[in-house]
Structure 1
Amino acid sequence: MEPSPEIRLTRDAAWAEVDPRTLRRWAERGELVRPHRGAFMDAAEWAGLSAEGRYRARVVAAASSSRTRPVVSHLSAAALHGAPLVGSSLGLVHVVATPGGGTRTEHGFRKHATGSPSGVVEIDGVPVTTLTRTLADVALTEPFVTAVAILDWAFGHHPITARDVLDDLERRGIIRGSRRAEVALAFADARSGSPGESLSRVRIHELGFPPPGLQHPFADAHGSIGIVDFWWPAFRTVGEFDGVAKYVRDEYARGRSAGDIVIAEKRRENRLRALGLTVARWDWDDAWRGAPLRSRLVEAGLISRRRR
């Protein structure tokens, strides 16, 4: 997750001996950006953030500038916990509201009338629902692909299980949306290696292909070939998601250039094919659009139970 940005609140400007009008002039000159009313941050820092990073900054700015100190929840809480946000609308800031006011949208906030949470943690100086409560709320309200990507990440990076999330729903007596949450929780898998792999699993399911095995190791006479993202033993087919991180992130590159990584991937694929396997590869755009992924898998010999 990207580092937390430094948010400057207008109401705190006097403490820093900076007149609020000066902050506004700096913003007009492009030196500052206003992620939410009453909050500013450095424009250069803002420019370096991803879409998810900017959303996290808006969440922190909105919650910090509010005088009511709301508890951040749902998708916004997932963002602050560090979860990937796949296929989600990064606009409103989600917070917990009292049941009496009803669930409503106002002033850039989506206020969920779910009552006070039993547990709250603090992230970047703002109160946030616990990860278990957050996962339950996301599973109840977010689109399937968004919920699965967040759940995959959580189960793979934290000591938390689907049973923990279901227990939270049961303790709160949640009925509305519970079936939707149960489906997402049953589909989630801690072995999913990245948001792109989570997206791919959802699309593979939606397109009617058989569920693949995940993170399957292969070896040949020369030793280990590596672990593949997806594996369909009945079709002798391997599936590989090609994400940008593989070529740019230090933890994957390990000092190698993008060209070196491409060559290594080609050699790895050749060794897999030498075992009599078919290899299908796709990227984020292929998986997001669906149709290109379907073509890759059909060309690799997989059979879908659904029509195009």
Structure 2
Amino acid sequence: MAIELLPSDADSPMRHRLDPTLHRIRRGAYVDRAAYEATPVHDRHELQVRAVAAARPAAVFARESALALARLPHGRPANVFTIGAPTASGRRGGVVASREAIGDDDIVLEDGIARCAPAFALAHLARVGKQADAVGALYAALRLQLVTKDQVADALGRQGPRGRRRAEWVIAFADPLSQSVGESWSRVAIHRIGAPPPRLQVRIVTRLGVRFPDFLWERAGMRPLGGEFDGAAKYGVIADANGVQPVDAVIEEKRRDDALREHIDTLHWMWAEAQRPERLRDMLSRHHLPVLSRLLPGW
């Protein structure tokens, strides 16, 4: 992250607070406002972590905060997380400190900041964090080949018993065939509504080339149903990859989707459905997939 933190001193706090070109990250830490507003919301947690690191140079960052420093998906945590300081456990000033012990082999030091290694942070998040965040983070780490499932399971064995069964479920469920965090969130939603597990990235040859729907279900006596997660950035990514304007990418993607519909039925959804499983349940039910009347528990 290219934004530079600007610490305040005894003479500058009021001046910094009144400066409209600066944005306050936390007490005593400011950044350029324009650069901050240009930073995607899901990347801003790293700034919080680096501001805490500047004030607490001995801290070891954990969970979502460690993943943010490792440039892995981490949700949108409301707090910064640290670990390994028995005298600093609890919540204070937006920092949640865990007294849980951590060995030197599970700590990475980068840019002068100590954090949990990815496998340890992923196991920790899977134990006590949000279900969809944990699956999305592990999917990305697997896809980037930063960890293996065995390494995360080994790291889990070096942690406390709380949430162990939840973490084991995350490790088994995460799949690097997912193409995005949104698809991983969608898979968790599909699980929670009790729909049949879909096949991922199935190859389908159309008149306009090969397509790989995000999800595919077989339906007795009907055409297969394809599912597509359309995140807000999808068409911008397609445009960048093909060197065209976003509007042209939308038109071309519509043409390719029409060609795909000659082989299967297709259903599209966005973050609103991935984050609210009951909405996705209604959509899939209308397309004749069996679902549960109540959501399976999430955490």
Q: Same fold (TM over 0.5)?
A: yes
Residue 153 of structure 2 aligns with which residue?
166
Residue 229 of structure 1 aligns with which residue?
214
Q: Distance in 2 between matches of 1:253 and 1:22?
A: 45
Residue 131 of structure 2 aligns with which residue?
144
Q: Distance in 2 between matches of 1:61 and 1:257?
A: 37
Q: RMSD between aligned alpha carbons?
A: 2.1
Residue 204 of structure 2 aligns with which residue?
218
Q: Which amino acid aligns with 1:10?
A: S
**Match 1:205 to one of 170, 174, 191:** 191
Q: Distance in 1 between matches of 2:150 and 2:195?
A: 27
Q: Which amino acid aligns with 1:301?
A: H
Q: Distance in 1 between matches of 2:46 and 2:229?
A: 26
Residue 179 of structure 1 aligns with which residue?
165
Query: Is 2:219–2:289's contact at 8 Å kept on the other side of the alignment?
Result: no
Q: Distance in 1 between matches of 2:119 and 2:83?
A: 15
**Match 1:30 to one of 20, 27, 34:** 20
Q: Distance in 2 between matches of 1:270 and 1:189?
A: 28
Helix, strand or coil: the match of 1:121? strand
Matched, 1:85 2:74: yes
**Match 1:48 to one of 28, 38, 41:** 38
Segment drifting more, 132-141 vs 37-46:
37-46
Residue 14 of structure 1 aligns with which residue?
none
Per-residue deviation at 1:281?
0.7
Q: Which amino acid aligns with 2:48?
A: R
Query: Is 1:141–1:177's contact at 8 Å kept on the other side of the alignment?
Result: yes
Per-residue deviation at 1:256?
2.0
Residue 196 of structure 1 aligns with which residue?
182
Q: Distance in 2 between matches of 1:252 and 1:246?
A: 10
Pair 268,7 (structure 1): closer, same or farther in 2 beyond 3 Å: same
Matched, 1:118 2:104: yes
Q: Distance in 2 between matches of 1:256 and 1:302?
A: 37
Helix, strand or coil: the match of 2:290? coil
Query: Is 1:197–1:241's contact at 8 Å kept on the other side of the alignment?
Result: yes
Percent identity over paired residues:
32
Query: Is 1:213–1:230's contact at 8 Å kept on the other side of the alignment?
Result: yes
Query: Is 1:247–1:261's contact at 8 Å kept on the other side of the alignment?
Result: yes
Q: Distance in 1 between matches of 2:146 and 2:69?
A: 18
Segment drifting more, 29-38 vs 252-261:
252-261
Helix, strand or coil: the match of 1:280? strand
Q: Which amino acid aligns with 2:266?
A: V
Q: Distance in 2 between matches of 1:124 and 1:299?
A: 51
Q: Distance in 2 between matches of 1:98 and 1:189?
A: 34
Helix, strand or coil: the match of 1:238? strand
Segment drifting more, 243-252 vs 191-200:
243-252
**Match 2:5 to one of 4, 7, 18:** 7
Residue 16 of structure 1 aligns with which residue?
none
**Cα deviation 1:20-62 (Å, max 9, x = unaligned):** 4246313312122221222221121112122222221011111
Per-residue deviation at 1:112?
0.6
Q: TM-score, normalised by structure 2?
A: 0.89
Per-residue deviation at 1:107?
2.4
**Cα deviation 1:243-263 (Å, max 9, x = unaligned):** 111122367552222222222
Pair 43,259 (structure 1): closer, same or farther in 2 beyond 3 Å: closer
Matched, 1:265 2:263: no
Residue 21 of structure 1 aligns with which residue?
11
Pair 110,177 (structure 1): closer, same or farther in 2 beyond 3 Å: same
Pair 210,268 (structure 1): closer, same or farther in 2 beyond 3 Å: same
Query: Is 1:279–1:300's contact at 8 Å kept on the other side of the alignment?
Result: no
Q: TM-score, normalised by structure 1?
A: 0.87
- The number of residue pairs the alignment matches comes to 291
Query: Is 2:239–2:246's contact at 8 Å kept on the other side of the alignment?
Result: no
Q: Distance in 2 between matches of 1:307 and 1:97?
A: 40
Per-residue deviation at 1:194?
0.6
Q: Distance in 2 between matches of 1:195 and 1:169?
A: 22
Residue 230 of structure 2 aligns with which residue?
242
Q: Distance in 2 between matches of 1:261 and 1:74?
A: 37
Structure 2: segments with no counterpart, 5+ residues: none
